[in-house]
Amino acid sequence: MPEKINWLAEGEAILDKVLEALDYWCWEVVGDPLDCYSTHQDLGLYVVAEEFVGWSRFKITDKDLEILSQMPEKYYKRLDAKFRKILDRVISNLMKKYGEIE
């Protein structure tokens, strides 16, 4: 009998890992968080997750990508919207703190 997947729970766990990876990437590696987050603003959750697959620090796996790709559309859309809303809020806060992107 196939294992039943709790799509939202699995998706939320992946979303948390992707946000953590993006946060580290933008602040610690790129060093220009406003530009970095803005660059990722128009990318979907799957695409950003794909960027960080295999980095042991973030523990985003090929299985995570498989879950996202097989996830029913209604759940993926909900998670993707949440991802974009969080990025929009982060960008808005950074713009208030540091000013507009040049």
Domain-embedded: residue 63: yes
93 assigned to some structural domain: yes
For the chain, the DSSP string reads -PPP--HHHHHHHHHHHHHHHHHHIIIIIIS-HHHHHHHHTTS-HHHHHHHTTT-TTTT--HHHHHHHHHS-HHHHHHHHHHHHHHHHHHHHHHHHHH----
Residue 1 in domain? no
Tell me which residue range forms the domain holding 49: 7-97
Residue 99 has pLDDT above 80, yes or no: no
Domain assignment present for 46 = yes
Mean pLDDT throughout 64-76?
96
Is residue 1 over pLDDT 60? no
Residue 102 lies in a domain: no
The number of domains in the chain is 1
Q: What local confidence, expressed as pLDDT, does residue 52 receive? A: 95
Is residue 2 one of the residues assigned to a domain? no
Q: What is the pLDDT of residues 15-40, one digit of tens each?
A: 999 999 999 999 999 989 999 999 99
- Tens-digit pLDDT profile for residues 39-66: 999 999 999 999 999 887 889 999 999 9
Report the pLDDT value the prediction gives residue 97, as an integer from 0 to 100. Answer: 85
